[in-house]
Structure 1
Amino acid sequence: MADLEKKLNDWANETVEEWPSDERLNRSIADGLKIKKKRHQRLKRTWRSTIVAAVMMFMFVIGVNTSPVFAEQVSKVPGFEHLVELVKWDKGRQAALSEGYYEEIDRSVDYGDVTLTIDGVIRDQYGMVVYHTIETEEPIERLNFSDVSIKRQNGEGLPVSSLGFGMPSQSETNSYTHETEIFFNEPVKDTKFVIEGKVKGRGLNKSFMISFEAENKAEPVHYDVDQPFQVGSEQYRISEVIVNPLRTEVKVEVPENPEWALLNFEDLRLINEEGEVWASIRNGVTGTGSWRSNEYDVFSVFLQSHYFEPNDSLTLLFNELQAVPIENSYIKLDLANEEILHDPLGQFEAVERSGNGFRMTIKDPEERFGFGPFGQVHAENGDKIDSSGQYMRMEEEKRILGKKLDQNVSADMNPIKVELNYYPNWIQESTRIELK
């Protein structure tokens, strides 16, 4: 093993200083494909194949981190393109993989001519990222594993706070690898799980269930902060920063009867003593707690994790907040007459019905607003109206934001009230907090 470690270190140093030849690159990619194909044959792994897989993963992570050319080449290999993107944009997961924190699962279930494999997991006490591969006999467009749920092996539910599914494949393929993000609102000590979901594609919709084991081998790192920051005339407070392998949690305390609803920290980030940045996670701001309810006075913002990165000092920074006056954190729409009855700061130009839902034109001359603003929808009598999603598109140089509703808005339900999750209004509040 000492010889192997020396060879890996030599290879890493060589890769940083000099790009490998095309012949060597092609050979590495071909070797990776061979390893991938062997999985489908259900061969029992030996200690030798485990070492090979570790070597390939090491080469993969080093290559993505040190050469955009290598990342570009590997992204062209079927089944690897999404992994490259996931590793590329999340330094915390890059570090978890390179530190050996990825736990290989390799459990498969066949359903006729479709196979779903749970490749592996990165997890901590508050969640897990499950990497999975779909394989089909014939190429299928828009392959995806969605409608996912997870429970304990005994069938009991888990305290899931959020579930994130990967995007479908963008072209016809018979092998597609992606991930499912699962986060909990309280620590989970279980190690045995059952995951259920549907493998979908053009003309494909099959249900799958797989049991697997995944351990949490890491304890969180806590920073007691208790530092205020100003928004308008009020003081909010960063109370604590908690670092787990998957993400870093920044806890924000809200004052009593706050004036502003803080919708998004545009540039919240952690930097170390060398200026290296850990920014917001790819799916934006998700959290626990809510400024909408008196039940909570704390909510959380999540950043990429620096768990595996030793640092002498860390600084929390942000300069800009997306916010609206809390009493006006909604829009009100008359869909029968296609009128906007209430808009907090007049940022929408028009509304029109679209199927069961609605679509709005937004004023945004700087074209900086790229969020789905619409939250929970309520009928005139206060009943909730479920939604099947929202979208954004450009039409004739106008930005259109739409929301699909699961039922038609009848006369007795109209007008509707839509809570705002995001809104194109920004407050400049430069804040710098040193973590101890």
Structure 2
Amino acid sequence: MSKLPIDVPKKKLQQVRMDMYRKVQREKRTKKRIVSVAIVSLFCLSLLFSIRVSPTIASHVAKIPGFEALVTAVSIDKGIQDIVDNEYYEEINAMQSKNGLSITLQGVIADHTGFVLFYDADSSFDISKLYLEDVQLFQGDDEMECGCTFLANADHQTHISSLVEYNFSEPIAYTSKDFKAVFHFNDKDKGNIEFTIPFTLQKEIAQEKIITANRTVNVDGQKFTITQIRRSPLKMALDIEIDEENTMQILSLDDIGVVMQSGERRESIKNGISKSGNIRDGKFTLYLQSDYFHDPDSLSIIIGAVQAVPKGEDFIEVDFGRNEVLTKPDYFDWDISVTHQSVSVAVNKGDNQGRLLMLHEAVKEDGTTLEHTSSKVSRDEQYVVETTQFQNYDGKAKIYLNYYSNPIGKNIELMIPVQ
């Protein structure tokens, strides 16, 4: 079977190469690298994102310093693709060097719900033992309080291309466009290395688009309402409320997504925060890939399955002092073992469809929270063993199931008009 031809703009490539050559020849030696990198960056952004070239060409562009993390983000999130296509991604290209390590803040995506910093780290030494411990973000002189996650990409021993994502619990006000990012690295041999990189946003911050939905879904007598849909460049948020009169505890809305008028599907955020709030509290938010730069007449929300179990039967009760299981739901027939401060559940591989129970929520006898400290998963030919470790405690505790495969409804489709 012959391969499909790749649409490579040869004439454009040749022209860019000639322009680069003439430009470099005219510049002084000290300016050669700056000019060539700027031209390559401009061309690669245009080539990779504006004309949507093949993955083959994209993979080559990803190898160019400054593009690895951005190409990775685009490949897993169609909303990021839209951001770059619509020129909302902001290039910064600010570099600092210290102790043989150079940090380049390549670019930023900012809206009222979050921030994404794309950076490269290059060194003259082996950085396989270099760890990014924290990145503080300041607006003016005020540090921004938010959840911060790192995505590592250390394929080489002297180069890292990665991103830092911030998620704000409340929409932020852009009282200033002057920011600074403080990177805190730690190297086993060199100790702490800190970089402070100031930058100023030039683009206008996109305003959130809010759709009042108030669409109630009734699945086998169990109700929940999608109250509103909030659309920003970085994410689409579905705000959901659970009916207090439900007789079952809804645990999960599986495989939720939005199908656009073009037929393209926007799914849950894959890397980063996909949910906020606690479903047991009756209100929570699910985050999907953004469709901000599209203006549909309506949104089609698809829910693959609603997972629920009877109320009052959504937990395991254990005694950490005696290392034994006290009670478990009648439907829960998997093996449970309790050792000092940990609970392990062995699940047949075919029974839970690759989903974890996520036994992170626990309550002590006095009603206070028993903190979860770590989780690990091991596998053999037959079982997936999920082990959850808790803080030191030798009493009884209820450990709640955050997932269990018991669908009460499947393949639900909602059409919501965009007002």
TM-score bracket, normalised by the shorter chain, equals 0.7 to 0.9
Counterpart of 1:198 in structure 2 is 184
Distance in 1 (alpha carbons) for counterparts of 2:56 and 2:173: 41
Match of 1:174 in 2: 158
Q: Secondary structure at the match of 1:292?
A: helix
* 2:194 corresponds to 1:208: yes
Q: Distance in 1 between matches of 2:127 and 2:73?
A: 22
Cα deviation code 1:328-385 (max 9, x no counterpart): 443333345543334444154222437x544332234256223461223444444444
Shift in Å, 1:226: 1.7
2:339 alignment partner in structure 1: 353
* Contact map agreement 2:89 2:107 (CA 8 A) in 1: yes
Write the distance in 2 (CA, Å) between the matches of 1:203 and 1:397: 43
User: Which of 406, 409, 413 in structure 2 is aligned with 1:428?
Assistant: 409
How many pairs does the alignment contain?
Answer: 396
- The one-letter code sitting in structure 1 at the alignment partner of 2:46 is F
1:264 matches 2:252: yes
The residue number in structure 2 matching 1:246 is 234
Cα distance in 2 for partners of 1:292, 1:310 equals 34
TM-superposition CA deviations, 1:285-315 (whole Å, max 9, x none): 734443333xxx5321111001123434431
Cα distance in 2, alignment partners of residues 67 and 59 from structure 1: 10
Cα deviation code 1:202-227 (max 9, x no counterpart): 66763535344346521122222221
Match of 1:7 in 2: none
Q: CA deviation at 1:93?
A: 0.1
* 3-state SS of paired residue (2:350): coil
Taking a change above 3 Å as real, the CA distance of residues 182 and 330 of structure 1, as seen in their structure-2 partners, is farther
Aligned match of 1:107 in 94, 98, 104? 94
Q: Over alpha carbons, which structure has the higher Rg?
A: 2
**CA 1:152–1:263 in structure 2 vs 1: closer, same or farther (change >3 Å)?**
farther
Q: In the TM superposition, what is the alpha-carbon distance from 1:416 to its structure 2 partner?
A: 3.4
Match of 2:324 in 1: 339
TM (normalized to structure 1)? Answer: 0.77
Further displaced range: 255-264 or 85-94:
255-264
Contact 2:317 2:397 in 1 (8 A): yes
Task: Give the SS at the match of 1:208.
Answer: strand
Give secondary structure in 1 for the equivalent of 2:73.
helix
Percent sequence identity is 23
Q: 1:109 to 1:49 in 2, by over 3 A?
A: closer
SS class of match (2:360): strand
Give the Cα–Cα distance (whole angstroms) in 1 for the partners of residues 404 and 247 of structure 2: 16
Q: CA deviation at 1:166?
A: 1.1
Aligned equivalent of 1:391, options 334, 355, 376? 376
CA contact under 8 A between 2:66 and 2:106: conserved in structure 1?
A: no
Q: TM-score, normalised to structure 2's length?
A: 0.80
Corresponding residue number in structure 1 for 2:213: 225
Residue 369 in 1 paired to residue 354 in 2?
yes
Consecutive unaligned residues of structure 2, counting only runs of 5 or more, are 21-29
Matching residue's letter, 1:103:
E
CA distance in 2, matches of 1:279, 1:420: 24
- Could you say if the C-alpha distance between residues 286 and 418 of structure 1 is closer, same or farther in structure 2, counting changes exceeding 3 Å? farther
How far, CA to CA, are the matches of 2:342 and 2:190 in structure 1?
27
Paired with 1:184 and 1:213, the residues of 2 have a C-alpha distance of 19
Which residue number in structure 1 is paired with residue 287 of structure 2?
Answer: 302
Rounded to whole Å, the distance in 2 between the matches of 1:239 and 1:269 is 16
> Which residue pairs with 1:3 in the alignment?
none
The more displaced of 311-320 and 172-181 is 311-320
1:176 Cα deviation from its structure 2 partner: 0.8
